[in-house]
Amino acid sequence: MIKNLLRAATAAALTLLPVTASSPAHALETLPLSVAVHQLDVADEVREGYTRDKFRHWNTGQNPTDGCNTRNEVLIAEAVEPPTVGPGCKLTGGTWFSYYDATTVSGPSGLDIDHMVPLAESWDSGASAWTAQRREAYANDLGASTSLVGVTARSNRSKSDQDPATWMPPAGDVHCQYAAEWTATKLRWDLTADPQEQAELIGLAEQCPTTEVHFDPAP
């Protein structure tokens, strides 16, 4: 519920907020979207060697003793109406709002947990050089409220591994929010953008002059 309220505030203020305190080693940074997109290093993407199993997910989440994996922790945090949490962290009931397509979803089975920057896209953009441990941390990132998002299965599968140059949420009024969340995730994890992706983000930034990007560099 807390994470859902933060996301609602994000949509209203067009900002990104982390769900946990920043690591002492890193400072929360705030940039206008028009500036943030130019902070992304530009490089051609390389898909060679990618397989989804190189990103271990879902792991035991923030509390290994509660039985809830990362997926369920995201669902609990983002619920509009909280689900019942049973033994083994089995979730029943509850409702969620999929902001990609402005759809209310009843029950956890109707939701996918989307990586804001898809695993394949992160591989193309620098994660291929990471250790397995860092890729696991990325795939289970609960340190920023917008790294993982519960959305309808159809919107997640429509997006697949595409970047903003080829896919944007069908709900047009969230494009500024989505561009900010995408940019924040790439900056958080020091991922690059390809030329077409950056050009699209620059165009979106021009359409979203008041949008700010808040990001906490990943430890």
The DSSP-derived string for 41-91 is PB-----TT--GGGS--S---S-TTSS--HHHHHHHHH-SBPPEE-GGG-E
Residue 70 has what pLDDT? 97
Residues 54-67 have a mean pLDDT of 92
Residue 63 has what pLDDT? 87
Query: In the numeric block, which tokens belong to residue 208?
Result: 């979203």
Q: Which of 137, 123, 124 is nearest to 218 (CA)?
A: 137
Residue 19 has what pLDDT? 36
Residue 4 has what pLDDT? 46
- Residues 87-102 have pLDDT tens digits of 999 999 999 999 999 9
Question: What's the pLDDT band for 27 if we cut at 50, 70, 90?
Answer: confident
Residue 197 has what pLDDT? 98
Which amino acid belongs to residue 22?
S
Cβ atoms of 37 and 207 within 8 Å: the answer is: no
Taking each continuous run of H as one helix and of E as one strand, the counts in the chain are 8, 8
Query: In the numeric block, which tokens belong to residue 217?
Result: 């560099």
Cβ atoms of 20 and 143 within 8 Å: the answer is: yes
